[in-house]
Amino acid sequence: MDFANNQSVITNGASQDTSPILEVKHLKKSFGDLHVLKDISLDLNAGEVLSIIGPSGSGKSTLLRCLTQLETFEAGEVRVDGKNLVVSALNEPIKYAPANVLREIRLSTGLVFQNFNLFPHLTVLQNLTLAPIRVLGIPREEARATGRRLLKQMGLEGKEKAYPCELSGGQQQRVSIARALALKPKILFFDEPTSALDPELTGEVLKIIKQLAEEHMTMVIVTHEMAFARDVANKVLFMDQGVVVEQGTPDFVFNQSQNKRLNMFLERFSRN
């Protein structure tokens, strides 16, 4: 399946529509006196992958939570697939778009969590069909057919009747990726998708994400797997203390940048 073409954005050169599917400008977010995101700007084209790296506490999860509407923020502009999340100007008090627009934007983004967050009392297939049926109003049989197709794509054929507790962490994470895909998001966000996994299970999840990248799924991936961050991405962004310290191509960020904070961070990882 070609996700980018699915979204009617043609990435094979036939279309000249080059406006980014995700645009963030001067986003700021505090928790009380703690300025967690100080001034974040980024953009991403449809069909591309952005890796976000940076030390713990630098604001990576908060950024994903702001972009997927799990958190509000105080200032900035966010545009998803041409729709503005915020309708106020940059220097005015923030005003969010009307509820129907927020919902549309929310439905065009999906988030895969570190700890899977599957519904423990539902089977694998029920986990995949609940939101499509309840939120999108998709007929039950159609939702089940899509769920089965996604399970096959994730290498989880035969697991549809299993409960999450009967699966390995790697399998649970693949179910949660399938669950996010079942809502047909235009952008899929991952927050450290392999951090809760035993090392021998990390590879199977990274392989699925790589496969999605090859199919031109637009993705933003927060990860501490540096080799993966470099190999899967079209762009890499390094965050520290709530600011974007460096961003560019994987080759620039991993091999060429002279930025001290970035290089200290990368050195720490290569020593581990």
From ligand ADP, Mg ion, none, which one binds at residue 59 (CB under 5 to 8 Å depending on kind)? Answer: ligand ADP
CB of 192 to ligand ADP, least distance (A): 8
68 touching ligand ADP, by CB under 6 A: no
Q: Which stretch binds ligand ADP (CB under 6 A): 6-14, 51-59, 112-120, 244-252?
A: 51-59
The H or E element containing residue 4 is helix 3-6
Q: If binding is defined by CB under 5 A, does position 153 make contact with Mg ion?
A: no
Least distance to ligand ADP from the beta carbon of 177, Å? 19
Task: Considering only the stretches 11-19, 56-64, 115-123, 208-216, report the one whose residues sit in contact with ligand ADP under the rule CB under 6 A.
Answer: 56-64
Residues 55-94 vs Mg ion: string with x where CB under 5 A?
Answer: ------x---------------------------------
Select the residue interacting with ligand ADP from 6, 15, 17, 57 (CB under 6 A).
Answer: 57
* Residue 271 contact among Mg ion, ligand ADP, none, beta carbon within 5 to 8 Å by kind: none
Total binding residues toward ligand ADP, as defined by CB under 6 A: 11
CB of 54 to ligand ADP, least distance (A): 6
Give the nearer residue to ligand ADP in terms of CB position, either 6 or 195: 195
d(CA 211, CA 233): 12
**139 belongs to the binding site for ligand ADP (CB under 6 A):** no
CA distance 47 to 55: 27
The strand order across the sheet containing 235-240 reads 83-84, 75-80, 22-31, 34-44, 243-248, 235-240, 49-53, 218-222, 187-191, 109-112
Helix (H) or strand (E) run with residue 86 in it: none
By CB under 6 A, is residue 62 in contact with ligand ADP?
yes
Q: To the nearest whole angstrom, how small is the minimum distance from the Cβ of residue 58 to ligand ADP? A: 4
According to the binding rule CB under 6 A, does residue 218 interact with ligand ADP? Answer: no
150/131 Cα distance (integer angstroms): 15
Cβ atoms of 147 and 122 within 8 Å: the answer is no
> Is 51 a residue that touches ligand ADP (CB under 6 A)?
no
Q: Which of 61, 146, 171, 247 binds ligand ADP (CB under 6 A)?
A: 61
Decide if 261 contacts 245 (C-beta within 8 A). yes
Q: CA nearest 185: which of 6, 52, 9, 18?
A: 6
Distance of alpha carbon 47 from alpha carbon 218, whole angstroms? 4
Out of 4, 44, 50, 60, the residue judged to bind ligand ADP by CB under 6 A: 60
DSSP string, 198-219: -HHHHHHHHHHHHHHHHTT-EE
Q: Shortest distance, CB of residue 58 to Mg ion, whole angstroms? A: 8
Please, which residues have CB within 8 angstroms of residue 131's CB and are 6 or more apart in sequence? Answer: 179, 182, 183
Residue 268 one-letter amino acid: R
Written as six digits, the tokens of 123 are 């089977």
Give the interface with ligand ADP as residue ranges (CB under 6 A): 31, 34, 36, 54, 56-62
Give the interface with Mg ion as residue ranges (CB under 5 A): 61
